[in-house]
Chains A and B, each alone.
Chain A
Amino acid sequence: MWRNATIFVLGLAALAAAPRFSLAETAQQAFARGEDLLVDGDFKAALAAYADAVRADRDNDEYLQKFLVVRRVINLRQQIAAEKDAQRWQYAARALRSFYSSNEIHGELLAIDTELHRRVGSAATARMLADTQLAMNRNEQAVKTLTELPTERATASTQSLLAVALARQGKRDQARRIVAELTAASDAGPRTLYSVARAYAAVGDEEAALANLKLCFEAVAPSILDGFKAHVRECAEFTSLADTDAFAEALKTDSKVHESKCSSGKSCAGCPMRGQCPSGKQ
């Protein structure tokens, strides 16, 4: 009798656990399906897949956040097509670009960067477009984009990417000449520092590349640093350095940016921005 009771109880427990286990698996599958559809550029189908993932696992914040942001992206894509105001169009374009970039949707990224550069034509938009072209190995296009930029508007970032593009085309001497003239401002931000690091790596100056890479990591916000380091590991310019101890050491660099934990922290307790909160802006 006791044996039968034990089997019965264990069976009930297995039944209770089974739906949850199978639902969790379904949620994972739905989310993975959404990721694949997103990279392919099918946003609405991706949104539906993310919605399935959320319904299957309501406690998973990652699924919900992805659903929410993709829904906003779809709306922005619809609105940007009809937007007449230049400033608002730019804002929407940059918002979309940020999403495409972080999700590596290169096709959409190239389209928006091309249009952004056509409309604005600044050093920043040239840099963004060239960066995307390099990511898609369209090196000639990247060189064209950057050389079309008037000299007086060239920046350390654009010159660095030009050096990278030329180095990829085998024109290392030309690239070295550009790198030799590089001067990044003392308050250069992480994007500039990363571009400069890539340029040095492209021409073979590993020491300078890693020095700039460390400065870059220190300037990146802690909440996105791990993701950025993962991206750096995949960067073509750092492939030759990937197995070196110096590169591994550089990857250990911590951020020096004080960032509020309000989006991810439980309370002010461990937040490095404690005492500065009354300003309200995060």
Chain B
Amino acid sequence: MRLVGYDHRTVTRRATQAAFLALTLVGVFYFHANCERWCPFGGVESLYGYLTEGNMLCSLAVSNFYILGGVLVMTLLLRRAFCGYMCPIGAISEWIHSLGRTLRLPGVPVPKTVSAILSPLKFVVLFVVLYATWRAGELVFRGYDPCYALISRHGEDIQVWAYVIAGAVAVTSLFLTVPFCRWFCPLAAVFQPFSRVGLTRVTRDAAACAGCGKCAQSCPMGIPVDRVPSVFHAECIACLGCVSACAKTRKRALTWGPSGGLRRRLGDRWPQAALIAILLCCTAGAVTASYLAPLPSFVKERSGQADRPQSVRLKIENLSCRGRGNLLYWYLDRDDAFRIPGRLRLEAWPGPGYATIIVHFDAAKTSEAAIKRAITEPYYNAAEDRWRMSPFRIEGYDLLDVDVDGGAPEPPLGDEPFEDPLGDAAFER
């Protein structure tokens, strides 16, 4: 089947976009997977928190770092090919623009000066988002993110503004080519220095070039392909639309392949299949690395020497995010009869359903059974004068098994001096 008006490169790219979008949608709506932990921008947002606290923000995971790394390597090699082949917003924006053309809606040409003025806005967006996020220690803009609205199936913190922004992007995409990607995407701002390097690029053979300008007309990012010897622009999304437009004129003045000294060794004309192969390798590599080296997303510890270091791996229900990770540690570090004495380190992978934790403890002072009880037993909060119920459940651990008589009775209140810092004060208020 031949799609009228489309060449094979465009069809292949659209198919790749569709495949990634379908993968995302199936993951979100069928498997109810936590797709948020595969967002590369989540890795950017979590960077500061992870470096300073050792914990990922909110419900993000270390896989965000792996995918960010994979995408940055991809960008180093292929420029902004992530935008051109994988990003769901970019894909939907392009398709809406194609729909606009099909409906014969007038395209709005953007003068180069206007585009040049708007282009730095993505850095402003990046700065504002990162500053607010790092300062708050939370994903404060998540509720306004239309991408998150999709992958979270309208998550509980989604604001109506997320849909307003989605609507604005959709409407402007009818008349403009990928407006969000060109001027407002903060991830594009992150890509900029890597994309500038870009070890592959589109090269123009000036001798073969007829100067028709069709390549520049076909570029969704507004790059003047017809006036440069090679496309070294950071905005290039490697869509190869310019190469296809030139091929149609039979001049074939444009080729895509490695740049600089690599051309002599690796050839100067690579097929699109090579681009997609590199893209898939980077993605697969990132995903594989995240499973082979699953670093914990949440770590909290109480230092000290352990006479008999031991660890226990558990599956915990309701450990959905960093806040819950803090709460879990709070239960382990509780100041009542179930306090875990001695060395304590909690490593957690918060997420939906049952999440994995590893608790490192001193077996000379406590036990696995004590840890399970610390996690699940109600806690009397003297400061608030109320009982707090633990929201955590341990897979395979039956809370009914612990009997009052003859089973594992409550440990004594302890021999250590007990300090009640509030005394009457909180009780009186």
Contact = CB atoms under 8 A, between A and B. Distances in A.
A98 B386 CA distance: 6
Contact of B376 (A68, A102, A157): A68
Contacts of A74: 404
A72 B399 contact: no
Contacts, number: 150
A191 B329 contact: no
A79 B412 contact: yes
Given A267-B59, A267-B321, A190 B138 contact: no
Interface residues of B, number: 54
B414 interface: yes
Interface in B135-171: 136-138, 140, 142-143, 155-157
B217 interface: no
Interface in B338-390: 376-378, 380, 382, 384-390
B386 A275 contact: no
A12 interface: no
Contacts of B380: 91, 94-95, 98
Contact of A91 (B59, B330, B417, B418): B418
Chain A interface secondary structure, helix, strand, loop or mixed?
helix
B323 A267 contact: yes
Given A68-B399, A76-B410, A268 B322 contact: yes
A74 B378 CA distance: 13
Contacts of A102: 386-387
Contact of A124 (B140, B376, B389, B428): B428
Contacts of B320: 266-267
B427 interface: yes
A75 B156 contact: no
A157 B426 CA distance: 13
Nearest to B429: A189
Interface string A123-142: 11001100000000000000
- The 5 tightest CB contacts between A and B, nearest first, are A189-B429, A269-B157, A75-B410, A95-B380, A275-B136
29 contacts: A65-B389, A69-B378, A83-B413, A85-B413, A91-B380, A91-B413, A94-B382, A98-B385, A102-B386, A124-B424, A124-B427, A128-B427, A190-B429, A191-B428, A191-B429, A192-B428, A221-B384, A262-B327, A263-B388, A263-B391, A266-B320, A268-B138, A269-B58, A274-B323, A275-B136, A277-B326, A280-B326, A280-B329, A281-B330
